[in-house]
Amino acid sequence: MSFSHKLFAKIFNFFQFFSFNKIFVTFIISEISFNSSLEYLKRELDKNQLKYHYIYKDKYSFYYFDSPKEKLIKLFNLLEFFFIKTFILSRTKYVFLDDNFFPMAYMKFSDNSTVIQLWHASGAFKKFGFDVVDDENIQKLIEFSSSRIDYVVVSSNNVSKIYKEAFKVENNKILPLGTPKTDYYFDKENNNEKNIKEIRSKFEKKYPNIKGKKIVLYAPTFRENKKINNDILLNFDNKLFYSHLKDDFCLFFKSHPKFKISESDNFINVSDYENSHELLLISDILITDYSSIMIEYAILSKPIIFYPFDFDYYINNERGFYFDYNMVPGPIARNTRDIINLIEKNYFNIEKIKDFVSKNFDYLDSKSSKRIVDYIVKEEKLE
């Protein structure tokens, strides 16, 4: 892995000798998604007629393939990544990231370039970055990569210190301007009764039995241990859930992109539905475990149930949290029967959710993307 990082950086550094800043913006993105902060930033750039390019970093790897066709496609992808994309990046004035990009540890950006980290999660819940890495080599990669970052954009002043430590950057590099992807929830074109009804009708057309029922969305995060991922559904008794709540509620299940689930008659699998913003908008209750999706859902001031069935394993073997888990903005369930009881008794404290939101967001509006573009890009245009 380090070889590919160094190779990308060496080619980039070579092109730096011959390139001038002519391309305005390049996004280094982890996946093509309707839900990315970079997607909403792109829309703001479109409004100002500013040019940009994409680098999809997960699309390229050194994996081997059996068929000649696959090998040929991979060869062309790698050539594009290591030569064309490095050249484009060497000519870029503003570089936006939504995840780690370890080749940066060895890249030498010009003084005319600005690198901005827009982390893919809002607020602060699960530990990330430097705070979850024990391997000294990875720690060095994070530290060296972060030294190339000019700004880290965060959702609130309250989480600035956390991001400062996670990325190992100075205080003056932290900008609490908001999270672009949350603009969606405050845009009246999205969050309105007519649009919500239209989104629901798409699902009702495909699943007629959900008409007139409230939607409960179960969206757990992934585990590094694949066996635990396979156990997620085994620890949720969807038959019991269905038998008690089928008259008034339907269950949607959305898995993390890093693991897949099998189908069931007792829930609707929406894992392949790309627009998670729409899913959150039409859902009446969210069930999750350690997923940062709950921070976005909290913006909508709707009930959240936390179901950490493997809490001891997770905190000891995967990640810790930036606050006591018992302080999450919703009731904690130990099993499926607890979940059923919470829903039947409507045991939710919306004020607690609102307080959580106020700590994680300084701005509750649709202008985070605009603030970032105005502050960093300053309305310049490529001539």
Q: What is the pLDDT of residue 320?
A: 94
CATH superfamily of 2-182+366-377: CDP-glycerol glycerophosphotransferase, N-terminal domain (3.40.50.11820)
Q: Per residue in 96-143, pLDDT tens?
A: 999 999 999 999 999 889 999 999 889 999 999 999 998 998 999 999
Q: How far is CA 342 from CA 208, 216, 306, 349, in A?
A: 26, 12, 11, 11
Q: What is the pLDDT of residue 3?
A: 86
Domain ranges of the chain: 2-182+366-377, 188-360
73-81 LR contacts (CB < 8 Å, sep 24+): 81/8, 81/55
**Domain 188-360: which CATH number of 3.50.50.100, 3.40.50.12580, 3.40.50.720, 3.40.50.300:** 3.40.50.12580
- Model confidence, pTM: 0.91
Specify the range with the lowest mean pLDDT, choosing from 197-211, 223-237, 265-279: 223-237
Q: Are strands 304-306 and 249-253 parallel, antiparallel or unpaired?
A: unpaired
Q: Per residue in 290-306, pLDDT tens?
A: 999 999 999 999 999 99
Check if 2-182+366-377 and 188-360 are the same fold: yes
3-state secondary structure of 51: coil
Q: Which of 131, 122, 121, 124 is nearest to 99 (CA)?
A: 121
Question: What is the amino acid identity at position 251?
Answer: L
